[in-house]
Structure 1
Amino acid sequence: MSAQKNPTVAVSAPGKVLLAGGYLVLDRQHTGLVFGLSARINVIAGEIHTSEGVQLNEIIVDSPQFEGAQWRYGYHRAPEGGGIQVVQLQVGEELNKNPFVETTLSYVLSYVDHLYATRGSSSSSSSWLKPARLIILADNDYYSTPGDKQTAPNARFANFGVPLASANKTGLGSSAALVTALTASLLAHYLPKEMYALSSEGGPDDDNVVNAMFHQLMIKRGWHNLPEAARRQMDAYPPQKKWTLLHQDSKEILHNLAQAAHCAAQGKVGSGFDVAAAVFGSCLYRRFSPSVLDALPEPGTPAFASDLGRVVDGTAWDVEVSKKVDMPQGLALRMCDVDCGSQTVGMVKKVLAWREQEAQVAGDIWGELQAYNDGLASVLNENRTEDLTMSLEMIRGKIREMSGLSGVPIEPESQTKLLDALTELDGVFGGVVPGAGGFDALALLMRDDEETKTRVMGCLAEWSKEKDEKVKLMDVRGEMEGVRMEELDIYKGWL
């Protein structure tokens, strides 16, 4: 296994929109209705080939759509099982940090090292880590910054022509999609199919390999303790069914590892709905208990790798991800960019402080909001489009009540007026200021036809002219699928 070349792989993960459940999703008593989006963060992972006799211990990360967006890292094994430590190497005059990239590298490489140490051969456990180049490409809708004039008008990946720090995000969840795609690409690059089943198709040709992998999964899940009849039934599953179960387990590993890395990079344990959407796609989401990640030490400290492996592969995760979410045929979830991102962290702190001070009032409002959110999910699942406008209005009314009581502009007056104007249009059922609210992108539920799209674009153009604001309908739309492998030819010209 040590002589095996690591394949060049491409992975993409979607952005998200929390259509219903803003603030509520922070609490395990409540759920959030989150949709994946067609806008994706893409990561291509490949080997760096060196001349014979030249030794290189480096991982290079490029984000070529932005000026000066390259990060180079050296790596080494930390003593006492501290995992793989990465150290940023200076490029140019300034050391531009990227905590999401650096933390994800440290977490994923440490997890892979743990896997090879516990499951691989002695040769593979010491020689698997080779130099790699990672290329990050973001679909255009993640940023409001107009692309370079040299970019083809319909190009999927624009050359934004500015430093990454100068680009205006549109609030689609780029950090969670980045961490997820980065995690998945590293796992697929460094681990053979016999150890990690990210692709839902094309498992190992040898059924004996699939059977051996499935046996390990049965032990991990405790299925080997089932009654003998049940064990025999599972042993008799055809290889493709076994591979499907292995693929599901691999996505759970990806979810757990990406959540751990994303929380560490943020410096706090968030609700995790954005990572869940990046991995699983559109879903009803109930958060995991923050205590799941409490026991993790810092990367590089003694036993970090084994502790990380125990957490990622463990059963303490009480997250609930339900795929019982649907978008009726002929209906589209579309986003409007208002080109003015909100300071979400400050808003969340203020709302949570209000909730603590006014526990009874806030609890009642959150309970009613949960009922309205559940109602919206039912309306969508049951294709009751005639009830859609009323369902959205009830949610918005309760959000505005919470906004007024907390003093936080969850649905600011300017957004209220714009949403009201859009809802008046034929073919538009309504919309919300998603997630934590504020001045991020609006989410609309509308008929999926050109006539409705034209009316919406006309309304936004007129609004922009009258109010002297930049408001536009984005190309992005809701979709159901989460993380996936991609063909390399999509990225022609960027590799």
Structure 2
Amino acid sequence: MTTSEQPTVVSASGKVLVAGGYLVLDRKYDGIVIGISARFYTVIFSGKNGKFSVYSPQFDDGQWDYQVNLKSLGGEEGFSCELESTNPERRNSFVEIAINYSLSIISRRKDEQFKEIVAKGLEIYIVGDNDFYSQREQLRKKNLPLTSSSLKSLEPFCKVHCTLKKVNKTGLGSSAALITSLVSALFVHFGVVSNQTNDNDRKLIHNVAQFCHCLAQGKVGSGFDVSAAIWGSHIYKRFSPNILENVMNQNVDISILNNLIDPASSKWDNQVTKFSLPHGFKLVLADVDAGSNTPSMVGKVLKWHKDNIDRANTLWDTLASHNTIISNNLRRLNKNHEQDKELYINAIKICESVKASEWALLTEQNPNNNNVALFSATFTTFQRIRELLREMTELSQVPIEPPKQTKLLDACNEIPGTIMAGIPGAGGYDAIFCIGIGNSFSSQIEKLWNSWEEMSVGPLLSRESSKGYMIEQINNIPGLSKSLNV
């Protein structure tokens, strides 16, 4: 497609849950969610043939065409929308649900303008940064080693050379980022949302994206991945599942849904507490080529919890208290940096070339710099969290931190400057994260990963990003226009 029209472009971030795996399913507990620089982008052009065409050019089968049928609900109630696929054998429920319900909700807010835009149709492009998908096969075909420099040499939004169903994901929240970028792009394109700093607009998109994501997945999840796509890094407390449980069907009454997703609705009790990694802290991620079935793991852990309620609650309460210590320490370090930058930077210089297991001694040697003590306490507390997760692994017989991963994480902790090394989210074999300080921390960690022989550990390029969803300009995103062939 060639056009001079300026499209609507909205992006949403991926996520890493560094503390609160499993616990985040329960409103009693918090999770520490880190937004990352890997993002999904939705680009919308006005159409010409009255159809809604959706393209995911990274996939071999990445095109879906629809006719939109509108049914007036009368008065100011807007329309109910039905997407009729031109190829019913090839369906994309995530895309269909997001478009269908977004349009129905938008129609109530933009009546006449809405009908005109729908009548022309839309051309929608959706692409994700390379980190969302394993690039191992790409690198193998190019005879390139599994390193950061090799990944940087790949073109942005590169093709994965397979179908959507067969793609190997890296577990960074691709479906949540996709749905959030698509929903928010539709709301921006139709003029319902125009300012990404408006809190009510952000809540509206959050509520719609949560509903669409849960409906597409067929269950009400914890929602931290959609929350990260909207707000970036934060401390997350989930919404009560019963908010959405009664609307988890394709025939939901649009009037009920409109009231439910209203940002002023008091029903939404999710909590987002502002958070970011302290100054000088670096997040690095790796894709581990072993693989876990996360839904299966979650189901088994929840069954164990139900069957052993007292022991499980005691373990989860202990885990939660240590997670809170971590988040409080990190927020305290952020404040300390604001109040005395020189003292804070000095603490990094003291600790960056020393293994964290030896920071307790440095704390004694530097009694006037409480940042050193906070670094050490954070490392020690996270080690305790890992012990508790290994205990949960043993009790539930679910590989949350399996022995092979324990060995790798322990080796990461031997790298000077490493403060936390763990398995994100539900755990298992899929990925690891490390957080540390110092100029050489990232390169030393990658050197260890490259030399690791027990499992194939592939670095990812993503770093922390607290931006959440963003309204973008297509020419400001390297490689985006080229990837869409526009």
Alignment check: 8 A CA contact 1:83 1:114 kept: no
> Do 2:46 and 2:117's aligned partners in 1 also have CA atoms closer than 8 Å?
no
Say which of 199, 202, 208 aligns to 2:196: 199
**What's the secondary structure of 1:310's corresponding residue?**
helix
Match of 1:89 among 77, 86, 89: 86
Q: Is 2:215 aligned against 1:264?
A: yes
> Which of 312, 321, 324 is the matching residue for 2:261?
312
What is the CA-CA distance between 1:457 and the residue it aligns to?
1.6
What aligned pairs does 1:355-434 form with structure 2 within 5 A after superposition?
Answer: 355-383=305-333, 384-434=374-424
Q: Does 1:171 align with 2:160?
A: no
CA distance in 1, matches of 2:466, 2:320: 22
**Cross-structure match for 1:280:** 231
Q: Distance in 1 between matches of 2:51 and 2:291?
A: 35
Deviation at 1:190, TM superposition (A): 1.4
> In the alignment, does 2:106 pair up with 1:112?
yes
Checking the alignment, whether the CA contact within 8 Å between 2:231 and 2:469 is kept in structure 1 is yes
State the alpha-carbon separation in 2 of the partners of residues 368 and 297 from structure 1: 34
Q: Is the 8 A contact 2:240 2:268 kept in 1?
A: yes
Q: 456, 471, 476: which is aligned to 2:457?
A: 471
Find the aligned partners of 2:438 and 2:61 in 1 and give their Cα distance. Answer: 39
CA distance in 2, matches of 1:416, 1:447: 21
Partner amino acid, structure 1, of 2:306: E
Indicate whether 1:155 and 2:152 are aligned. Answer: no
Q: Secondary structure of the residue that 2:463 maps to in structure 1?
A: strand
Distance 1:419 1:164 in 2: 32
Q: CA RMSD in A?
A: 2.1
In the alignment, residue 89 of structure 2 is paired with which amino acid?
Answer: L
Q: Would you say 1:290 and 2:241 are equivalent positions?
A: yes
Compared CA separation, residues 300 and 132, structure 1 to 2 (3 A):
farther
Q: CA deviation at 1:125?
A: 5.4
TM-score, normalization: structure 1?
0.81
The TM-score, its normalising length taken from structure 2, stands at 0.82
Counterpart-to-counterpart distance in 1, 2:390 and 2:172: 22
Quick one: distance in 2 between partners of 1:297 and 1:99?
Answer: 14
When residues 385 and 312 of structure 1 are mapped into structure 2, their CA distance, relative to the original with a 3 A threshold, is same
Residues 18 and 422 in structure 2, CA contact (< 8 A), matched pair in contact too? yes
State the AA in 2 paired with 1:360: D
Partner of 1:382, secondary structure, is helix
Please say if 1:437 is aligned against 2:437. Answer: no
The superposition leaves residues 375-422 of structure 1 with CA deviations (integer Å, 9 ceiling, x where unpaired) of 111121122323222121011011111111011100111110000011
Equivalent residue, structure 2, for 1:459: 448
What's the offset of the Cα at 1:128? 4.0
Give the superposition deviation at 1:157: 1.8
Structure 2 counterparts to residues 23-42 of structure 1, below 5 A? 23-42=22-41
Task: Say whether the 8 Å CA contact 1:26–1:271 is kept in structure 2.
Answer: yes
Q: Distance in 2 between matches of 1:403 and 1:428?
A: 24
2:32 maps to a residue whose letter is L
Deviation, 1:434, is 1.1
The 2-side partners of 1:127 and 1:17 are apart by 40
1:115 aligned counterpart, secondary structure: coil
Partners of 1:288 and 1:76 in 2: CA distance: 33
Cα distance change, pair 199–152 in 1 and its aligned pair in 2 (3 A): same
> Structure 1 residues 76 and 448 mapped into 2: Cα distance closer, same or farther (>3 Å)?
farther
- What SS is found at the alignment partner of 1:268? coil
Work out whether residues 456 and 473 of structure 1, in 8 Å CA contact, stay in contact via their aligned partners in 2: no
**C-alpha contact (below 8 Å) 2:10/2:471 kept by paired residues:** yes
Alignment of 1:127-276 (within 5 A): 127-129=116-118, 130-145=120-135, 146-147=137-138, 153-191=153-191, 195-200=192-197, 247-276=198-227
Partner AA of 2:108 in structure 1: H
Q: Deviations over 1:161-185 (max 9, x none)?
A: 2222222101000000001000000
For 1:177 and 1:432, the matched residues in 2 are separated by: 23
Counterpart residue type for residue 85 of structure 2: Q
| 2-structure distance, mates of 1:344, 1:300 | 29
Report what 2:146 is aligned to: none
Question: Residue 350 of structure 1 is aligned with which of 296, 300, 309?
Answer: 300
CA offsets 1:263-282 (integer angstroms, 9 cap, x no match)? 00000000101000100111
User: Please, which moves more after superposition, 422-431 or 349-358?
Assistant: 422-431
- The answer to whether the Cα contact below 8 Å between 1:170 and 1:339 also exists between their aligned partners in 2 is no
Q: Output the amino acid matched with 1:317.
A: W
SS of the counterpart of 1:476? coil
**Alpha-carbon distance in 2 for matches of 1:198, 1:255:** 14
Aligned partner of residue 444 in structure 1, secondary structure: strand
Q: Given that residues 285 and 320 in structure 1 are in contact (C-alpha distance below 8 angstroms), is that contact kept between their aligned partners in structure 2?
A: yes
Partner of 1:238: none
Q: Name which of 67, 76, 90 aligns with 1:74.
A: 67
Q: CA deviation at 1:340?
A: 3.5
Deviation at 1:492, TM superposition (A): 2.5
* Residues 135-192 of structure 1: per-residue CA shift (max 9 Å, x gap): 111111111134487998253322222222222101000000001000000111112x
- Stretches of structure 2 that go unaligned for 5 or more consecutive residues are 143-150, 334-373
Find the aligned partners of 1:152 and 1:404 in 2 and give their Cα distance: 39
State the AA in 2 paired with 1:477. R
For the structure 1 residues 33 and 77, does the alpha-carbon distance in structure 2 shift closer, same or farther, using more than 3 Å as the test? same
Verify the 8 A CA contact 1:144 1:339 in the aligned structure 2: no
Q: Aligned in 2, Cα 1:339/1:98: closer, same or farther, shift over 3 Å?
A: farther
Q: Give the deviation of 1:85 after TM superposition.
A: 1.0
SS of the residue corresponding to residue 464 of structure 2 reads strand
What's the CA shift string for 1:314-346, capped at 9, x where partnerless?
Answer: 2211111111x2212111111111034321111
Matched AA of 2:442: K
- Contact (CA 8 Å) 2:220, 2:245: kept in 1 or not? no
1:484 is aligned, of 467, 470, 478, to 470
Deviations 1:178-227 (A, max 9, x none): 01000000111112xxx423333xxxxxxxxxxxxxxxxxxxxxxxxxxx
Of stretches 67-76 and 263-272 in structure 1, the one that deviates more from structure 2 is: 67-76
Unaligned runs of 5+ in 1: 51-55, 201-246
More deviation, 418-427/77-86:
77-86
Displacement of 1:126: 4.0
